[in-house]
């Protein structure tokens, strides 16, 4: 049963809603514009000259949204821990909590092990497939061989965090994505992907350098249990049209790896 305080809060919210203009009276109302009520933290936003629409609620069903949680792992404050099995990324805070972000783990991301270090972060980066991507899946990556410029169309999304190992670029990335349905699952492409709203939030918290650790399946099961580990499904390879999905590709860029 709701407490008196929560009941008053609910009735107050109802009163405010009753006084609000109807969607048809307000052209800026998100329900009129997007067809749904945005989830807090995933509303429409403007960033770097680009407009990001809100994330539709069907992609944000629990636990597929950014949450502040108690952290039960072993990493230090300021570190990042990636759980590729439960499909979460943790940014650890000094008070024993962590921001937990849902992620998608691509085929490249599944190969990420041990510890790496974030030594670069970029806003709205461009992307070029690696030679290995072009060799192993030419039907998927061939249309993008000349690169995709930074922006809404880029597979790296709104931000990219660049992981180094031993002082050298590992070509692993933590980055945004427009493929909303991939979050919480494993995919055929990409490294560690977040909703664009989440990678913007994460990148603002991350300093250079930041240590990144990958959780083992054994630790994931120990900490989260079989109801969370493993989580998601493996998505089949997709052949995408650069014109309809990513936009124009005629501008070559210098940043390999995704």
Closest CA to 118 of 233, 199, 224, 37: 199
Enzyme catalytic residues: 175, 191
Helix, strand, coil % in the chain, rounded to nearest 5: 25, 25, 45
Q: In sequence order, what are the beta bridge partners of 78?
A: none
Residues 6 or more apart whose Cβ sits within 8 Å of residue 210: 78, 79, 80, 117, 118, 161
Strand ranges across the sheet with 168-177: 67-70, 97-102, 88-92, 80-83, 210-214, 115-123, 159-165, 168-177, 192-195, 104-105
Closest CA to 177 of 205, 201, 152, 202: 152
Q: How far apart are CA 63 and CA 98, in angstroms?
A: 15
The phi, psi pair for 66, rounded to 5°, reads -65, 130
Dihedral angle of Cα 88, 92, 95, 101, to the nearest 10 degrees: -30
Q: How far apart are CA 84 and CA 186, in angstroms?
A: 9
Q: How far apart are CA 83 and CA 72, in angstroms?
A: 13
Instruction: Identify the helix (H) or strand (E) that includes residue 119.
Output: strand 115-123
């Amino acid at each position: 049963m709701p407490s008196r305080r929560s009941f008053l809060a609910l009735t107050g919210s109802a009163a405010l809603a009753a006084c609000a203009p109807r969607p048809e009276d307000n052209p800026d109302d998100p329900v009129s514009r997007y067809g749904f009520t945005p989830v807090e933290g995933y509303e429409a936003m403007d960033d770097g000259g680009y407009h990001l629409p809100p994330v539709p609620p069907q992609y944000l069903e629990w636990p597929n949204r950014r949450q502040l949680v108690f952290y039960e792992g072993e990493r230090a404050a300021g570190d990042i821990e990636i759980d590729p099995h439960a499909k979460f990324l943790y940014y650890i805070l000094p008070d024993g909590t962590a921001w937990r972000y849902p992620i998608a783990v691509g085929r490249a991301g599944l190969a990420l092990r041990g510890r790496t270090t974030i030594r670069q972060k970029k806003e709205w980066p461009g992307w070029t497939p690696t030679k290995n991507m072009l060799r192993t899946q030419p039907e998927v990556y061939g249309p993008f061989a000349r690169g995709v410029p930074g922006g809404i169309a880029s597979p790296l999304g709104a931000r990219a965090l660049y992981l180094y190992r031993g002082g050298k670029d590992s070509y692993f990335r933590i980055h945004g994505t427009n493929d909303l349905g991939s979050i919480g699952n494993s995919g055929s492409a990409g490294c560690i992907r977040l909703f664009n709203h989440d990678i913007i939030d994460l990148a603002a918290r991350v300093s250079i350098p930041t240590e990144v650790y990958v959780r083992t399946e054994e630790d994931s099961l120990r900490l989260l249990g079989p109801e969370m580990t493993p989580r998601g499904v493996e998505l089949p390879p997709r052949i995408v049209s650069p014109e309809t999905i990513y936009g124009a590709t005629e501008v070559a860029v210098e940043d390999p790896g995704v």
